[in-house]
Amino acid sequence: MAIMNKTIYFSLFIGVLFTSCIKDNSTMVYPESNPNFSAITITSPTERLSVDHGQEFVFTPAVTQKIESKELQYIWTANYIDSDVVGEIFSVGEGATLRYTFPKFGTYRLRLEVKNEDYSAFKTWEIDVRVYDAGYFIVGKDDAGNSNISFARSLSQTDVLEGKTLTFIPELFNKVNPEHQIKDVVAIAKSLIAYGKNDAYLHVFTKEKIYVANPNTFEIFNVIEFTKQFPGEYIEKVTIFDTYITASRIFTSKGRILSYDKAELFCYRNDAWGDLSFDNAYTNLVYGQSTNVNGDEVVIDEANSKLWVLIYYHNNSKPVNNTSGTNASQNNFGDNYRPNVYNNMDILNVFRMNGNSTYGTPTNLFTLATDRTNPLLVKFVEFTFGSSTGMTTIAENVYEASGPITYKKGAQIVPNARYSCAYYADGSNVYVWYPNNTVPNNRLPETPSFNIGSGKVITTMSVSYDMKQLYVGFYDQNSSHALKGGLYIYDCSKIGQNQSLQPDLKFENITTRPVQVLYKSNVWDKFVSN
């Protein structure tokens, strides 16, 4: 009997024990039933994220927990995905907001773990670290020569659907390449490396150096020390084709023409030009995809009012000027064998109406000049050249202006073959000139076509590849912003219709003083006139 009672008591004890264990287990298996358990939830508007290469990625997902007072710990990790293969995991940060610059472009798997004393929650995203494919460059320079190269990527269809707007990233080149202090930028150009390929380099020409960068990531991988090779000489202007033509020319502070091999990345003395020295140069006058093009720069002998060019296969591919020719009696080639149409004139500018120029059929060039003794006497000459004829005058136009002309020497002339006109600026005014019109409608304009706004000084202009847009870079003297440089984009078809023309797009306070505006395409585009 005693044994039976003990058995009953033991059974009751075991039953109570198991009952209490089962009750406790129920709160562990189903923690939401526990009032002290704080569940965590992670949400975000999208599962796929993006950031530009070289830019800090800043991301704050929404994190909530049942008991707000409990401390949360954040652990961010990522894996690089290469051809659907997930790489090793690595830490990218801690804290509610992730701030991280991904080391290379491509796709990453981003993972967040949030935990408290009770629980851990996980969420993953895919993030695209995007390259800088097509978009707009605006190159700025401050008074000390420090460069500010800003870029805005063209909007994709997805960007437009997401409501994004075209936005410039200031100081982008310096952010991607913090180890390089880029100063005194002369020109920036994207150029193909080889025929039949879309591989290209981005060349940044400065006074003393040439930086060569990946055109999609902007990472600098080579630096050519120009002034170390040519001591006391600096880069002033550059001719470089968008095409695969490897030879490019540099006009220096000593007035020389040197060569730059953009494929092999080195500078060298140009044997054709030798050590001839000139006062000025007008560069990038031809846009063509064939090697059989000429006149890509015209250099000026100001004292003698002469234009010099190098015409391939003419005079043994040696430089000639507008008076060069053959003396029939002496059977030799030399200067002053033809009349100088610019005699006693100050040459103000040389430009080409840059239409479709392919396979050695470039459009004609124009020279604008004024008489040295009477600056109201204006002459503009249309000319061309060929391997057999040399430099040939097509038409001379001479007139006397009623007052000081609106064009000032040294100002850019930006031609637009689509509309048979040329643009130039003075202060905040933009002028439109139609040199191919009939007399007197082909003279320099006396009034501006439009004004971009009080206090804004136009510092650079260019046209889009299809010549449908005019890019106007300006410096806003009245701006209180640290960056006073901006860009306005105009519809060329509307220019000349009214003086109150407004830009289609406005970008203000995006750089310092603009020196160049360039649209960079995915692959090579060329100027076309139709």
Cβ-count burial 249-262 (b if 16+ within 10 Å, e if not): bbbbeebbbbbbeb
Percent of the chain's residues with pLDDT above 70:
85
Determine the Cα–Cα distance for residues 462 and 189; give it in Å rounded to an integer. 13
Determine the Cα–Cα distance for residues 468 and 419; give it in Å rounded to an integer. 9
**Nearest in space to 349 (alpha carbons), one of 322, 381, 377:** 381
Helix (H, G, I), strand (E, B) or coil at 120: strand
Determine the Cα–Cα distance for residues 212 and 518; give it in Å rounded to an integer. 16
Q: Kindly indicate the confidence band of residue 4, based on its pLDDT and cuts at 50, 70 and 90.
A: very low
| Tokens matching residue 509 | 């306070």
Cβ–Cβ < 8 Å for 215, 229: no
Is residue 441's pLDDT more than 80? yes
Looking at the DSSP assignment, which residues form a beta bridge with residue 283?
297
How confident is the model at residue 69, as a pLDDT? 86
Handedness of CA 463, 469, 470, 471 (dihedral sign): negative
Mean pLDDT of 345-370: 76
Model confidence pLDDT, tens digit, residues 227-246: 999 999 999 999 887 766 66
How confident is the model at residue 66, as a pLDDT? 87
Angle at CA of residue 122, ends 118 and 127, nearest 5°: 155
Handedness of CA 465, 469, 474, 476 (dihedral sign): negative
Mean pLDDT of 441-447: 97
User: Dihedrals φ, ψ of 10, to 5°?
Assistant: -65, -40
Cβ–Cβ < 8 Å for 455, 484: no
Query: Cis ω on the peptide bond leading into residue 231 (within 30° of 0)?
Result: no
How confident is the model at residue 357, as a pLDDT? 41
How confident is the model at residue 495, as a pLDDT? 96
- Helix, strand, coil shares of the chain as percentages rounded to 5? 10, 45, 45
Model confidence pLDDT, tens digit, residues 178-206: 999 899 999 998 887 766 666 788 999 99
| Tokens matching residue 466 | 């299809």
Model confidence pLDDT, tens digit, residues 498-517: 889 999 999 999 999 999 99
Among 3-12, 323-332, 346-355, 413-422, the range with the most confident prediction by mean pLDDT is 413-422
Mean pLDDT of 149-157: 85
Is residue 143's pLDDT more than 90? yes
How confident is the model at residue 291, as a pLDDT? 38
Is residue 13's pLDDT more than 60? no
Is residue 358's pLDDT more than 80? no
Model confidence pLDDT, tens digit, residues 34-63: 777 888 999 998 888 888 887 889 999 999
Is residue 267's pLDDT more than 70? yes
How confident is the model at residue 390, as a pLDDT? 84
Q: β-strand 48-52 against 120-130: which pairing, if any?
A: parallel
Is residue 3's pLDDT more than 90? no
Cβ–Cβ < 8 Å for 385, 309: yes
Which of the 8 DSSP states describes residue 277?
-
How confident is the model at residue 203, as a pLDDT? 94
The pTM assigned to this predicted structure is: 0.81
Mean pLDDT of 110-135: 91
Mean pLDDT of 437-464: 96
Which CA distances in Å does 282 have to 24, 252, 285, 293? 88, 12, 7, 16
Is residue 327's pLDDT more than 50? yes
In terms of pLDDT, which residue wins out, 26 or 255?
255
| Tokens matching residue 493 | 């078809």
- DSSP structure string for 380-439: EEEEEEETTTEEEEEEEEEEE-SSS-S--TT---EEETTTTEEEEEETTEEEEE-TTSPT
Average pLDDT, the chain: 86
Cβ–Cβ < 8 Å for 192, 243: yes
| Tokens matching residue 361 | 């059929």
Looking at the DSSP assignment, which residues form a beta bridge with residue 415?
422
Determine the Cα–Cα distance for residues 449 and 319; give it in Å rounded to an integer. 38
Model confidence pLDDT, tens digit, residues 382-397: 998 878 888 889 999 9
In terms of pLDDT, which residue wins out, 312 or 283?
283
How confident is the model at residue 200, as a pLDDT? 82
Torsion of CA 84, 89, 95, 100, to 10 degrees: -60
Mean pLDDT of 444-459: 97
Model confidence pLDDT, tens digit, residues 416-425: 888 999 999 9
